Amino acid sequence: MKKSFLFLVLVLSSCLVFIGCGDKKNDDNKIIMVTNAEFPPYEYKDKNDFKGIDIEIANLIAEKMGKELEILDVEFDSIIPAIVSNKADIALAALTVTEDRKENVSFSDSYFETSQNILVRYGSGISKVSDLKGKKIGVQTGNIADINYTEEFGEENIERFNKHVDAVEALKNKRIDAVVLDHEPAKFFASENDEIVMLNNVCKGEEYAVAINKNNQELLDEINNILVEIKKSGELDEIIKKYIK
């Protein structure tokens, strides 16, 4: 099946999570953000508090709009369905802009550029992307690595996890041969685990943006105006430098 069809199936099936809940309640004083708080340094939980780059950007957006931010924490593959079904106003979750995703949601201007990296065990013999042929590759379900590497190496070589931390544990326990994920989280997991290493060979580049319902052009324009403002003022750079040295 074509990749776009598979993505549509994923979106529709994930929407089942929200059946029976109805649309979000209208509250002019609140903006609801959906994320997956398992992806440091972009979004994660410190005890009961949400932390990370995307969390601070969302708080700043809410502040500029004069609204209170409410955070909805879901599985990664439920993020786009939450926007499509109007369970949330905006999604910030280190979401890569792709053509498939643009069929379902609108994206703001980019606020961050990054790349993907590979985590392996020391002494694995894997040193570049081509070495992954025939290996078991761990990815987060619905992540851009899931999309790209399923296409490149085949369904039979992909092992999907709801959380990157579970993929890293599987790598450490030798159940898989590698994990592909975004650069900063890869760097974080490598620094926290002595037995794994992040390869210097980066994979495809990508851009992060805010996802918004396709029918809400007014909100999209407002978000873009705020992004222009916080880029120009240096507020966006301050947030990023706080988490990425």
Residue 214 is predicted with a pLDDT of 98
For 15-28, what is each residue's pLDDT tens digit? 444 444 445 555 78
Torsion sign across C-alpha atoms 193, 196, 201, 202? negative
For 97-118, what is each residue's pLDDT tens digit? 999 999 999 999 999 998 889 9
Residue 73 is predicted with a pLDDT of 97
Q: Are 164 and 38 in contact (CB under 8 A)?
A: yes
Residue 219 is predicted with a pLDDT of 98
Helix and strand counts by DSSP (H, E) for the chain: 9, 14
Residue 76 is predicted with a pLDDT of 94
Residue 9 is predicted with a pLDDT of 45
Mean pLDDT for each consecutive 10-residue tract of the chain (245 residues)?
43 46 66 96 94 98 98 96 98 94 97 92 93 95 89 95 94 97 91 92 81 98 98 97 90
Distance of CA 165 to the CA centre of its chain: 14
Residue 205 is predicted with a pLDDT of 74
Would you say the pTM of this structure is higher than 0.85?
no
Q: Which domains does the chain have, with CATH numbers?
A: 13-24+31-111+209-243 (3.40.190.10), 115-205 (3.40.190.10)
Q: Are 179 and 118 in contact (CB under 8 A)?
A: yes
Residue 203 is predicted with a pLDDT of 66
**Rounded Cα gap, residues 137 and 186, in angstroms:** 14
